Amino acid sequence: MNLLFLLATLGFQIANKPVYAHNATYNNPIIPGWHSDPSCTFVSEWNNTFFCTTSSFLAFPGCPVFASTDLVHWDLISNALNHPAQLPQIQTSTNAQTLGIFASTLRFRNGTFYLLTAWLDTDNPSTEFVLFTTTDPFDESAWTNAFQIQNPSGAIDPDLFWDDDGSVIMAFSGSPIKASYIDLATGNASEPFDMWNGTGYNNQEGPHLYKKDGYYYLLIAEGGTELHHSSTIARSKSIKGPWESSPHNPFVSARYTDRYFQTVGHSDLFQDAEGNWWGIALATRAGPALYNESIYPMGRETVLYPVSWPKGDWPLADQVMGEMSGPLPPRSSKAHSVPTFMGEPDIVDFVPGSSIPTHWVFWRAPAKPESFTISPPGHPNTLQLIASRANLTGDASFKALDGLTLLARRQTNTLFEFSVDVHPGFYKAQGDEIGVTAFLHQDHHIDLGLVFMGGSPNSKGRVNFRCRATDSDATNFTVPSPVVTPVPSSWLSETIRLYIRAENDTHYQLSAAPAARPHESRLLAAFTGALISGPDVFTGNLLGVYATTNGGNHTMEGYVSRWRYTPIAQQIDYNDFVRSWEL
């Protein structure tokens, strides 16, 4: 379907966007796409700017850091983990697909930003706590190497809190939540002490400590990061308790409701320049049928809610909705002069001398960086891909250091169009393939590839379109068989444009056209978003390009160009869409 026709005919309900500063409405998610386990801090010294970080698991660069001056428009300003030497395991680990880096805490003190996080992998019997610091979060090169902080109990989700006497307390997951005093100079941690066991739900994790009006407040996540997820809060006059549970718990949650935003929890709290309190949390869009219908490809996203916290009293949170209102700071269209503003389209032509955009990611740090070259000699305005032996799923012999030739960006809109041009003549042997993918991780992805099948280039083989889905643990539906379609003979010598489109909130359409004649686009297949969703999956959909020999032990290189990601609309409630350019 022609994109302009689609935009003209979509019957959206349009949300009005106010331009005034206070008591203004805004839409969730504020950081859309896979951005889970958020932690935020407000820094007046940096032009009254809010800074947030989210989980990245195996995506690299990792530990993304976002900035905003109005809580609505967010820039990706750096990635704290941006080169493999900072944390070599991100390149070499053979860990499971949903381990890696997650549940960080971001704090600012005495001119320094601290990002404390956890690293998990199957090669290491114990979770590592690692700390990154910087005095300039806008300079990616200024982030330090990972500094190990002792993990006293093999826990996850470390917090950072400075008490009035300057001592540093690190709370972390446990039943009950536990904490240790730590030395930031040595990384040593004291014997842990028990804190609070929550309100009776499982998986007590994601703790954050605050001190206000003579009380220590402990905010935690409970119920697991699924439909029973919540944030709950307690307080005590002493850091070691006893802890009193808030009479208003859960502090924020969507469990047992029919709200469109579900799995709400794993929160953090912060103030703005005028002293207003705000909460940040993760949430998943799909409604309470989430884990039955299993269609939520963007995974866990970052949402914002206002908090009322009278002196000496308990904090109260507005429950998360798609449209909310609160005392927002003055609006700004772009917080800082940085290249990546969340919500903008991708228009990337790989011009000579340019770099890979900051918001694009690899799956693990690339084992072979030379597999990705912008505008190599003789091929200006292209991205050269040197194929990996393994395809996106891998095989029994796959090791992390084998590498995957995959470069992607997060899906950040419910409805979108993604396209890349693939140049002809890349194939050398059967199985050679270049394509586009909707990629959750190696066990869940939807691919549209140009693949050479049936022989050698000089024999009877030919290039086909192959639409293929991988879902290793589908339980409530059947994974469709691959759809193979011969490339029209008249297209074989031409650059071909491959498309992935989401024209509704449940399915992805895969299509192709000659790049010079996009009006000849052909729909090749449509797949359900359930293939890249599913319970116990902590990541979210990535859209990108890949190249593989599908097990062949030879070198294959190909070229792609004209990378485009066009946001169309954001769903904020059942049947309620906002056009992306209105956000």
- Length of the chain equals 583
Whole-angstrom CA distances from 444 to 322, 354, 403, 420, 468 are 28, 31, 17, 21, 11
Question: How far apart are alpha carbons 155 and 537 in whole angstroms?
Answer: 20
Between CA 314 and CA 187 the distance in angstroms is: 34
How far is Cα 499 from Cα 564, in angstroms, rounded to an integer? 9
The helix/strand/coil state of 142 is: helix
| DSSP three-state, residue 85 | helix
Measured over the CA atoms of residue 252, residue 255, residue 259 and residue 263, the dihedral's sign is: positive
| Long-range contacts, stretch 168-171, CB < 8 angstroms, 24+ apart | 169/209, 169/239, 170/116, 170/129, 171/195, 171/207, 171/208, 171/209, 171/218
Write the CA distances from 423 to 197, 241, 404, 498, integer angstroms. Answer: 58, 65, 20, 11
Whose structure tokens read 């889970």? 36
Active-site annotation holder among 75, 159, 205, 417: 205
- The residue annotated as part of the active site, out of 37, 157, 222, 421, is 37
User: Which helix (H) or strand (E) covers residue 244, if one does?
Assistant: strand 244-245
- Interatomic CA distance for residues 420 and 413, integer angstroms: 18
Amino acid sitting at position 127: T
CA distance 291 to 289: 6
Which of 380, 455, 386 is CA-nearest to residue 426?
A: 386
**Residue 282 near residue 53 (C-beta atoms within 8 A):** no
Which residue is associated with the tokens 């010079």?
Answer: 516
**Which of 436, 432, 411, 420 has the alpha carbon at shortest distance from 505?**
411
Q: Give the DSSP H or E segment for 293.
A: helix 290-293
Q: Count of alpha carbons within 13 Å of 261, Cβ hemisphere only? A: 28
Residue 409 near residue 542 (C-beta atoms within 8 A): yes
Known catalytic residue at 45: no
**What are the phi and psi torsion angles at 526 (to 5°)?**
-135, 135
Cα–Cα distance list, 389 to 119, 393, 396, 398, 472 (Å): 27, 11, 13, 9, 20
Tokens 């805490």 appear where?
105
Residue 115, beta-bridge partner list: 106, 132
CA–CA separation, 201 and 251 (whole Å): 14
Q: Are residues 442 and 423 in contact, defined by beta-carbon separation less than 8 angstroms?
A: no
Q: Is residue 26 a contact partner of residue 304, using CB atoms and an 8 Å limit? A: yes
Active site residue 344: no
Could you give the 3-state DSSP secondary structure of residue 427? coil
Active site residues: 37, 205
